[in-house]
Amino acid sequence: QVQLVESGGGLVQAGGSLRLSCVASGNIFSINAMGWYRQAPGKQRELVAVITSGGSIYYADSVKGRFTISRENAKTVYLQMNSLKPEDTAAYYCNAEIRLPDNTKTSNWGQGTQVTVSS
């Protein structure tokens, strides 16, 4: 069974910074892409940033220049969030595209971590 555990959310004033972490564990053969999504109340979940095993990175336009995604190893991904704005307030979810030992591909989600930015 695969688990993704996020940490690092919290309450911060506008202009502040937070760093989110996500660690994958379980019976994993390999992980391709790892990314962060967010969902604000009443809105659809949206992609924030993603990084592949090859190092390719994508950012949503709304966070370019403020957020940085990185991978420490094959199973850990970070999201450094600087210059936070109230509109960044949302539940942030980690996602990983995982290949299991039986060659099955799965898309896995963490439980989410709340980020609240006060004005």
pLDDT at residue 50 in the model: 98
| DSSP helix, strand, coil percent of the chain (3-state; round to 5) | 5, 60, 35
**Could you tell me the pLDDT band of residue 73, with boundaries at 50, 70 and 90?**
confident
With 90 as the cut, is the pLDDT of residue 103 above it?
yes
pLDDT at residue 1 in the model: 86
pLDDT at residue 113 in the model: 97
- Cα–Cα distance list, 88 to 13, 20, 32, 81 (Å): 11, 13, 26, 9
The average pLDDT across 20-46 equals 96
CA distance 114 to 119: 16
The average pLDDT across 45-61 equals 96
Indicate the SS3 state at residue 35: strand
